[in-house]
A = this chain, B = another copy of it.
Amino acid sequence: LTTFANLPYVHCLAADGVEVEKYDIAILGAPFDTGVTARPGARFGPGGIRQGSRRIAPEFGWNIHTGENVFLDWARIVDCGDAPLTFLDNTIALKQLDASHKRTSGRSANSSEYHIPRIITLGGDHTTTLSALRSTHERWGEVSVIHFDSHLDTWDPEVLGGGISHYAGVNHGTFLHIAHEEGLISNSSVHAGIRAPLMRPKGDIRNDLRCGFEIVTARAIDRIGVDGVIHALRKRVAGSKVYISVDIDVLDPSYAPATGTAEVGGWTTRELLAILDGLRGLEVVGADVVEVAPIYDNPGETTLLAAAEVVRSLLEILVHKPVK
């Protein structure tokens, strides 16, 4: 019915032993939003992004700039539907998502050369990236994260949400801290588009450094331009395998109102898409677009269209550079 970009649906999550059609890149929905601190609704993000991609289609997919068609290239790309996640217990839901990632990336790829399928996750709130990073760590080891977001998301669970309980400490503002503690990411990660305020004058930044991140602020682009941002990101992660996580709130609310914690003063889609295109050639082993909460969108589906296009850009990066 409605798959991302009218791609074929494959039941990637079928029980072990059940044969399914092979694939090289999998789109996987992660309907989850009980890790948010403000406006909920990202549980409907995967369906929303798919709806935003309705006019994207493999047979109509020749990029005007590159002359290439990512859907008709070497990689078989499929939509695996959504991971089955409960809305009623975050701990269980993350385990369910871990399992879905494991199963999806665990099948042998369609390509005879590149054996491990890569996954693009459609969030879901940003907590879902934790499962994705556990998955890439299992298959590829530590990764550098290029983290597009207006927020740091490396908050110490003791500071954000926690203090109250361990359970509360696992959320969309702490998952990168936890990923660091679990040893999933390397110390060559980088944020891009940051502009939201902090909770502690210096502690947050110190902690962020400890988690392995550098910061490219949203306003940096006015000084160094799109090319400068691209350069900074590429330099930071040079030589390592990369995971790209796009919190849609990196865009200005004018471009992406449909998100839970929108911050004004962000990037335009033209800027973001140009930056993403500038990341081609990196060894990207996984990616996601998260925090899309459709109910807050304009009638014209501004955010859904933007999110779908970001996914297409991510696909181009993955197809451009296969990873062994």
- Which of A's residues lie within 8 Å of B, judged by CB? 1-3, 9, 33-41, 43-44, 47, 50-51, 54-56, 59-65, 67, 69, 79, 81-82, 86-89, 91-92, 161, 164-165, 167-169, 171, 194-202, 204, 215, 217-219, 222, 226, 252-255, 257-259, 261-266, 268-270, 273-274, 295-303, 305-306, 309
Q: Within the assembled complex, what's the spacing in Å between the Cα atoms of A239 and B63?
A: 33
A4 to chain B, nearest CB (A): 9
Q: Are A167 and B200 in contact (CB under 8 A)?
A: no
Which 3 residue pairs spanning A and B have beta carbons closest together? A257-B300, A88-B168, A296-B300
Q: Are A64 and B270 in contact (CB under 8 A)?
A: no
Supposing A253-B305, A268-B252 touch, asked if A258 and B197 sit within 8 A by C-beta, the answer is: no
- B65 contacts A217, C-beta separation under 8 Å: yes
Rounded to whole angstroms, the CA-CA distance of A202 and B69 in the bound complex is 11
- The CA-CA distance from A261 to B54 in the complex, in Å, is 10
The count of identical subunits is 6
Q: List 16 A-B contacts (CB under 8 A).
A: A1-B79, A34-B34, A34-B40, A40-B40, A41-B41, A60-B198, A62-B197, A63-B197, A64-B194, A69-B201, A88-B171, A222-B270, A252-B268, A253-B301, A255-B264, A262-B305
Instruction: Please tell me which one of the listed residues B43, B62, B199, B259 contacts residue A62 in the complex, with CB atoms under 8 A apart.
Output: B199
Quick check: B204 and A270 within 8 Å, CB to CB? no
Q: Which of B41, B164, B268 contacts A254, CB < 8 Å?
A: B268
- Across the interface, which residues of B come within 8 angstroms of A219, CB to CB? 65, 270, 274
**Distance between A200 CB and nearest chain B CB, rounded to angstroms:** 7
A171 and chain B: residue at smallest CB distance:
B88
- Please report the C-alpha to C-alpha distance between residue A209 and residue B169 in the assembled complex, in whole angstroms: 39
Tell whether, in the assembled complex, residue B270 and residue A265 are in contact, meaning their CB atoms are under 8 Å apart: yes
Rounded to whole Å, the gap between the CB of A105 and the closest CB of chain B is 20
Determine if B67 and A201 form an interchain contact, defined as CB atoms under 8 angstroms apart: yes
Chain B's closest residue to A79 (CB) is B1
- Once bound together, how far apart are the Cα atoms of A301 and B300, in whole Å? 11
Question: Pick the contact of A165 from B54, B55, B56, B91 — CB < 8 Å?
Answer: B91
**Residues of chain B with a CB closer than 8 A to A273's CB:** 264-265
* Extra 16 A-B pairs, beta carbons < 8 Å, given A40-B40, A89-B168: A1-B1, A1-B2, A1-B3, A2-B47, A36-B87, A39-B295, A40-B43, A41-B295, A60-B197, A64-B215, A253-B301, A253-B302, A257-B301, A257-B302, A262-B302, A264-B305
**Are A255 and B252 touching (Cβ within 8 A)?**
yes
A7 CB, min distance to chain B CBs, angstroms: 11
A41 — which chain B residues lie within 8 A by C-beta?
39-41, 295
Residues in chain B near residue A253, CB distance under 8 A: 255, 300-302, 305-306
Closest to A215 in B: B64
Contact check, A92 vs B164: say whether CB atoms are below 8 A apart: yes
